[in-house]
Amino acid sequence: MSTIPILYEDGEALVIDKPAGLPIDRPRAGGRSLDDQLEELKLGFQRAPMAVHRLDTDTSGCLLLARNPKALKRFNKAFEDRQVEKVYLGILAGTVAEDEGEIALSLSKISSKEEGWRMIAAKKGKPSLTRWRKLVEKDGMTLIEFWPETGRTHQIRIHALAGLGAPLLGDPVYGEGPKGGAGGAPRTMLHASALTVHRDGKSAITATSPMPADFLRLGFVDPGQIPADLPEPGPSGV
């Protein structure tokens, strides 16, 4: 029995509900990681599952695992061919005037001894695209639904800051970091809420993750409870 919730399971795939604070890879300084959970995530299979993609340590929600090397290869190709659709929820530390839109930026990685590395918008960077819509504003914060069309490192985090003009609440790299008190956040407030992986000859892998408790504590509700008169997103493939 896994201590991590299983959102989807079949013979070649698992989608787990990754908790915030659990890194995918073992930190250089040591400490717990997803590796410590892989034995219990065998769930009767001989092989331990393997993470197909990455979520930042702070990011919670849908994470796809492959149960064998052939499945891993097929799922990697699905990501490369944009046969994967992802939906994220993020809380901005600020408000935006528009209701929906697209953010298209070229992104590059920079590094300094003082601040470490981060992504920036730069003309010579790699192209990135995220579609978004505003769900609700509350106490100077905004709940946004994001559909990343590309999968660049820190894409949603830098798109929030450079594209929407406000960082994700709690982001220690692009914002002010976790803060206590009203409006504070224990982490970067980003949640992978839904995942769809299309497969040739098989039904798609589909999973949804409920809104996490730290989002709810800030007074936001699950989008499923938000009135349905919001505009529907168009087709997407990541």
Q: Are 61 and 55 in contact (CB under 8 A)?
A: yes
Name which of 214, 161, 212 is nearest 185 in CA terms: 214
List phi, psi (to 5°) of 155: -55, -50
Joined tokens for residue 160: 């929030």
133 Cβ contact partners less than 8 Å away, ≥ 6 residues apart: 99, 100, 144, 145, 230, 231, 233
Residue 56 designated active-site: yes
Distance from C-alpha of 174 to C-alpha of 68, rounded to nearest angstrom: 37
Catalytic position from the list 56, 58, 171, 214 = 56
Which residues are tagged catalytic? 56
